[in-house]
Amino acid sequence: MTIRILEPGAVVGVLGGGQLGAMFASAARRMGYHVAVWDPDIDAPAHQIATHSFSTAFSDLSSREQFANIVQATTVEWENVPAELCRWLEERCPMRPSSKVLSTLQDRIAQKQFLSSRQLPVAPFAMVESGDQLAEAIARLGCPVVCKTATSGYDGRGQWILRTPADAKQLETIMKQPGSSQRWIVERFIVFARELSVLVVRNEGGEFRLYPVVENWHEQGILRATCVPASIDSGIAERAKEVSLQAVAALQGVGVFCVELFHTTDGDLLINEIAPRPHNSGHYTLDVCSVSQFEQQVRVTCDLPLGETRLLGPAVMVNLIGEEVRSVMSAEGCSNLHSTPGAVLHLYGKQMIRPGRKMGHVTFTGPQEELVAAAAQKFMVNLGTSA
């Protein structure tokens, strides 16, 4: 099969224009491409970098025609863009990842069913569409369980931990509310030693690249910090990479994928979730890898050769969530940060600060893991938190 490379000067489209879309657009511009960003939010950060901006609803039929007429390939910055729009675009230009992969991954039930049908390890789960089914699922899986909406949940939203069967009552009330999700996935609560993730880049011809395994800390369902390399032995790291690649290959995924895993206290690895796009836990690649996850997304979307994933040094990435961003906005705060050797600040240029909103991140880099971890720890303590 001859694959046609999209040459610099071409226009690549991205559906979604948050920070991930903006970092993709920056990489694409640097590599000589024009970028068409489509995000209904006019303030979405990627619009600032776009050559062509679309801020209409994704359902707007004349915009989809215009978008399709401009772009020569399209990618996504997050999985919850309408699969129907992706299917329509796919008939007109290469779509990376495909609408089929997006449809499977944007529904947590379809995703888990797919993975378990391929004998890939996941937490025991059940699909729930009513209060009665919730009780049955709890009886089968045993408390505690985690109940998640099948679609649209992110950063811990649409997610509940039920510690006892009695906790289900509150959730049943939520389920009955008008406009509430109709489909849920209930998973056994996994006692994990650590959370890991692996970035997998895979192209049309099935070639792939794997980034090092990283370790993630969450607070209230939101990523707090990522450390690379993960503090695991090489056997676990190899298994984590193997299972991540198997999952993306089974999907026949083309694009950048982040496979999130639980490393359980029993030593098992379970796939929690796969994102068909660059991921917050991969932001470190911007500062300490030979090629970043966003450049890989450009490469795979334009059918360029895949890049090297070499880690140039250890790093800890700390998210700036909601009001925390103010700590680096003052003269004193940003001067302190910029005086820290190896600290790299990324601000997303979002106008509104909201609780839980990712406003930026800092990557701490340096030659020694201990020093990098200590600098990140000190910074987090000053943010009023510590991982």
**For ligand AMP, which is the closer residue by CB, 40 or 221?**
221
- 37 touches ligand AMP by CB under 6 A: no
Could you give the CA distance from residue 229 to residue 316 in angstroms, rounded to a whole number?
Answer: 9
Output the CA torsion 219→220→221→225 (10° steps): -10
**For ligand AMP, which is the closer residue by CB, 281 or 301?**
281
Query: How many other C-beta atoms can be found within 10 angstroms of the C-beta atom of residue 95?
Result: 27
Q: Cα-flanking dihedrals φ and ψ of residue 48, to 5°?
A: -65, -25
Within residues 194-223, the interface with ligand AMP by CB under 6 A covers: 195, 218, 221
Contact present, 299 and 70 (Cβ < 8 Å) = no
CA 107 to chain centre: 15
- 107 touches ligand AMP by CB under 6 A: no
Contact present, 192 and 265 (Cβ < 8 Å) = yes
Q: 28, 190, 256, 315: which one contacts ligand AMP (CB under 6 A)?
A: 190
Which of the ranges 39-47, 68-76, 151-159, 354-362 carries the binding residues for ligand AMP, by CB under 6 A? 151-159
Within residues 118-137, the interface with ligand AMP by CB under 6 A covers: 123
**For ligand AMP, which is the closer residue by CB, 259 or 316?**
259
Which of the ranges 61-69, 79-87, 188-196, 291-299 carries the binding residues for ligand AMP, by CB under 6 A? 188-196
- 189 touches ligand AMP by CB under 6 A: yes
Structure tokens, 82: 């309408």
Smallest gap from residue 229 Cβ to ligand AMP (A): 19
Candidates 349, 292, 263, 260; CA nearest to 79 is 260
**For ligand AMP, which is the closer residue by CB, 60 or 155?**
155
Candidates 204, 171, 175; CA nearest to 96 is 204
Smallest gap from residue 317 Cβ to ligand AMP (A): 15
Which of the ranges 152-160, 285-293, 321-329, 341-349 carries the binding residues for ligand AMP, by CB under 6 A? 152-160
**For ligand AMP, which is the closer residue by CB, 104 or 272?**
272
Q: 40, 82, 156, 349: which one contacts ligand AMP (CB under 6 A)?
A: 156
Smallest gap from residue 278 Cβ to ligand AMP (A): 16
Smallest gap from residue 188 Cβ to ligand AMP (A): 6
Within residues 222-261, the interface with ligand AMP by CB under 6 A covers: 260
Q: Is 14 left (phi over 0), alpha (psi -120 to 50) or beta?
A: beta
With H, G, I as helix, E, B as strand and everything else as coil, classify residue 38. strand
**For ligand AMP, which is the closer residue by CB, 189 or 208?**
189
- 187 touches ligand AMP by CB under 6 A: yes
Could you give the count of Cα atoms lying within 13 Å of 124 in the half-sphere of its Cβ?
Answer: 12
Q: 28, 44, 146, 243: which one contacts ligand AMP (CB under 6 A)?
A: 146
Cis status, amide bond into 121, omega within 30 of 0: no
Specify the residue for token string 């509430």.
Answer: 180
Within residues 15-34, the interface with ligand AMP by CB under 6 A covers: none
Within residues 165-184, the interface with ligand AMP by CB under 6 A covers: none
- 295 touches ligand AMP by CB under 6 A: no
Cis status, amide bond into 45, omega within 30 of 0: no
Could you give the CA distance from residue 223 to residue 272 in angstroms, rounded to a whole number?
Answer: 14
- 272 touches ligand AMP by CB under 6 A: yes
Binding mask 327-366 for ligand AMP (x = CB under 6 A): ----------------------------------------
- 109 touches ligand AMP by CB under 6 A: no
Contact present, 320 and 345 (Cβ < 8 Å) = no
Could you give the CA distance from residue 386 to residue 303 in angstroms, rounded to a whole number?
Answer: 41
What residue ranges in 311-384 does DSSP mark as E strands? 315-321, 343-347, 358-365
Candidates 15, 86, 74, 23; CA nearest to 49 is 23
**Chain residues in the site for ligand AMP (CB under 6 A):** 123, 146, 153, 156, 159, 187, 189-190, 195, 218, 221, 260, 272-273
